[in-house]
């Protein structure tokens, strides 16, 4: 069974601080996706990383896929209150009762003004 573990589970910071959240697995993934979910809404896809070692930037967000394709990180520079939400990582699952996409439990980020 493939598992994705995210850390930290909760993170509360002040506006302007930097932060990194992690997504780890003992399994190799062909790709990993990051979603952000705001309260009462569905997850919204931020990025997909597909190549080991790949780095993608989305404004103040930097996503990295580990060389061995077992882990990924999301770094936010100068966090803003609008970054508040639940950050989920997800990877393809080839069959089984977990569905086509398995999710980590997420990191709940709160950015205070």
The contact set with other proteins (CB under 8 A) reads 33, 35, 40-45, 48, 88, 92, 94-106
3-state secondary structure of 96: coil
CB of residue 99 vs other proteins: minimum separation in angstroms? 3
In the bound state with other proteins, the residue whose beta carbon lies nearer, of 44 and 68, is 44
Residue 24 CA to residue 18 CA, distance in Å, equals: 20
Nearer to other proteins, 8 or 16 (CB): 8
Q: In whole angstroms, how close is the CB of 15 to other proteins at the nearest point? A: 25
Q: Which is nearer to other proteins, 18 or 98 (CB)?
A: 98
Q: Which is nearer to other proteins, 82 or 97 (CB)?
A: 97
Nearest distance in Å: CB 46, other proteins = 11
CB of 37 to other proteins, least distance (A): 8
DSSP 8-class letter at 39 = T
H-run or E-run covering 81: none
What lies within 8 Å, CB to CB, of 75 at 6+ separation is 18, 19, 20, 61, 62, 63, 64
| DSSP 3-state of 60 | coil
């Amino acid at each position: 069974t493939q598992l994705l573990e995210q850390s930290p589970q909760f993170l509360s910071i002040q506006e302007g601080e930097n932060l990194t959240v992690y997504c780890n697995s003992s399994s190799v993934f062909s790709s990993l996706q990051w979603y952000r979910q705001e309260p009462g809404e569905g997850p919204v896809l931020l990025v997909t990383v597909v190549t080991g070692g790949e780095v993608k930037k989305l404004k103040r967000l930097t996503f990295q896929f580990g060389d061995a394709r077992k882990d990924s990180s999301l770094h936010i520079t100068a966090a803003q209150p609008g970054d508040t939400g639940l950050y989920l990582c997800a990877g393809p699952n080839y069959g089984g009762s977990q569905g086509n996409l398995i999710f980590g439990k997420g990191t709940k980020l709160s950015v205070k003004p």
